[in-house]
Amino acid sequence: MPEIVGSILAWLVPAVIVFGVAGIALAVVAWTVRRARRSPRARAAADQDRVRAGAVLVRLDDEVAELDLEVGLSGALYGGGAPTSLRRARLTAQHVRDESFDEYRRLSASEVLPDDIRRSSSRIERRASEALKAIASARSEHSAWVLANVSAASQISAAQRRLDQLREGMGDPAALVAELSARFAEDEWADASRAAHAALAEEAEARRHLDAAQAQAADPSRSALAELGAAERALRQAEADARILEESHRLVLQAAQAVPGEIDAARTALRQAGVTREHLDAPDAARLGAELHAFHAELESIEADAARRPSRTVDRIARLRDRLDLALGDARTAQQRIRGARTALPGTLAAARSAIAQAEASVVHARAGADARARLISSQHELAAARQAPDPVAALDAARRALRDAEDAKALADYARTSGT
C-alpha cells in the first residue's frame, strides 16, 4: 500500500507543479493582455476611432438637417409628384442618427473599455456611412426627376415666392429687437439681435442670387443651377435665423410673464423648508438653516434684477430650487416632494427650453462637433420626457437633466467656435 501511494504521489506532484506553473503563466499572460488593452496607448487609439466616427456622424446630422428642408421644399413645389426617395432616406437617416448619437455619447464614460470604444465607433461609422450613401442615392434620383419635370424658371419662381413669404413672416426684425432692448438687459436680447442681422443679410444674399439666376435662365446658353443652389443655401440659413429670432423673442417675453410666479413659488418653497427644519435634529436643523439663509439671500439678489433679466432670473431660480432639494435630502415626506416638484417644474421647463434654444443657435453657428450635438440631442430627448412624464418628481429630474445637457452642448459649441476646432 505505501508503495502505491508513493507511486501516485510521484506522478501527481510533478503534474500539479506543471499545471500550476502553466496556470500561473496563463494568468500572467491574461493579466498582461488585459492591462495592455486598458493602457493609455490603447485608450488614445480608441479615442481616435471615436473622433473619426464622430466626424462621420456630424456629416450625417448636417445631411439630415438639409433633408428636412429639401423634403418640405419638394412637397411645397411639386405637390407630392416627386419621388418618395427623399422621404424614405430622411426617415432612415434620422433613425440611424438618433441611435448613433445615443451610442456615441455613452462612449465618453471613463469606465468604457478601449475595445468597446473601438467596436462601437466602427459600428457608428459604418451605419452613418451607409445612411449617407442612401441620402446621396435619393438626392440623385430626386435631382434627375426635377431636371426632367421642372424648368429652371419655375424653380426660380418658387424660390422667389418662398423668399417673399420669409420676408413677410419675419415682419420687422428691428422692431422685435427694439421691443426687447427697451425693456430688458442686453444679454437677454443679444441672441435675437444677432439672428435678426444674420437673417436680413442672408435674405438679401438669396435675393441677389435669385436675380442672377433669373438673368441666366433667360439665356439658353447659360445654366442657372449654380446661382439657384447658392440662393437656396442662403434662403435656408435665413429661415433658420428667422426661427432663432422668433424663438428668442418669444422665450424672453414668456420668461418676463413667468417671473412673478416663479419668485412666489420659490418663497413658498423656502417657507415650507423652514417648517420641515423645525422637525429635524439639532445638527441637521443647523445645517439646513444655513442653507435656507443662503437661499434667502440669493433669492433677494435675484429679485432685485428680475425685471431686466427675466430669462436669467427663471434660470437662476430653477437652479436654486435644485439646491434646495439637495439640502432637504430625505427630510421631506413623499407628499412634500411631489408638491415641491409640481411648483418647481414650470420654471425648470422654461429654463431648459431657453438653454436648448441657446444651445441650438450655438451648435448651428459654430458647426459644432459630435460631442456638442450628442449633448444637444440628449437635452431635447430629456425635455420631451419631462413633458410626457406623469410623475412630477420624474418630470422635474428629466427637466434638470435637459438643462444640464443643453448647457454642456452650448459650452462645447462655444469652445469649438472660439478655438477654431
56, 128 Cβ separation under 8 angstroms: yes
Output 41-44 pairs: Cβ under 8 A, ≥24 positions apart: 42/114, 42/115, 43/114
What integer pLDDT is reported at residue 314 of this predicted model?
95
Distance CA 101, CA 96 (A): 8
Cβ neighbours of residue 306 under 8 Å, at least 6 residues apart?
A: 259, 263, 313
pLDDT classification of 97: cutoffs 50, 70, 90: very high
Helices 282-304, 225-277: inter-axial angle, 10-degree rounding? 140
Burial class (CB in 10 A: 0-12, 13-18, 19+), 331: middle
405, 360 Cβ separation under 8 angstroms: no
**Phi and psi, residue 41, nearest 5°:** -65, -45
Distance CA 404, CA 256 (A): 22
pLDDT classification of 17: cutoffs 50, 70, 90: low
Radius of gyration of the chain, Cα coordinates, nearest whole angstrom: 30
pTM of the model: 0.75
Task: Encode pLDDT of 208-219 as tens digits.
Answer: 988 888 887 776
Q: Above 70 in pLDDT, residue 162?
A: yes
Q: Above 50 in pLDDT, residue 115?
A: yes
Choice among 41-50, 318-327, 400-409 with the minimum mean pLDDT: 41-50
Name the one residue in this structure whose C-alpha cell is 501516485. 8
Q: Which class in CATH covers the domain with range 40-149? A: mainly alpha
What integer pLDDT is reported at residue 217 of this predicted model?
75
Give the mean pLDDT of 221-245: 79
Domain ranges in the chain are 40-149, 152-248, 251-419
Buried b (16+ CB within 10 A) or exposed e, 106-141: ebeeeeeebeebbebbeebbebbeebbebbeebbeb
Cβ neighbours of residue 45 under 8 Å, at least 6 residues apart?
A: 114, 118
Chain centroid, CA 338 distance in Å: 28
Average pLDDT of the chain to the nearest whole number:
84
| Higher pLDDT, residue 29 or 347 | 347
Helix, strand, coil tally for the chain in percent (to 5): 90, 0, 10
What integer pLDDT is reported at residue 396 of this predicted model?
94
Q: Above 80 in pLDDT, residue 272?
A: yes
C-alpha cell at 81: 409628384
